[in-house]
Amino acid sequence: MSVYKIIEIIGTSSKSWEDAAATALATASKTLEDLRIAEVTQQDVTVENGKITSFRVRLNISFKYRAD
């Protein structure tokens, strides 16, 4: 049997929500192993002078838990 841990991360991008998610996952994968599922739980934008300046995505990601 396997056990998975779930954590919440937030990614940002000036391009899109998809890019924000990809950036967050790429960064998380540098220190976490066996990433399994990423669930977008929230999306929002930063607005300055009536224009979107950044996209933000909140993700729950799961990875395999290893007891050492």
pLDDT tens string 38-64: 999 999 999 999 999 999 999 999 998
pLDDT beyond 90 at 2: no
Contact of 16 with 23, CB cutoff 8 Å: no
Give domain 4-64's CATH superfamily.
Flavin-binding protein dodecin (3.30.1660.10)
Element containing residue 37 per DSSP (H, E) = strand 35-48
* pLDDT for position 28: 96
Contact of 4 with 44, CB cutoff 8 Å: no
Per domain, the residue ranges of the chain are 4-64
Rounded to two decimals, the pTM is 0.84
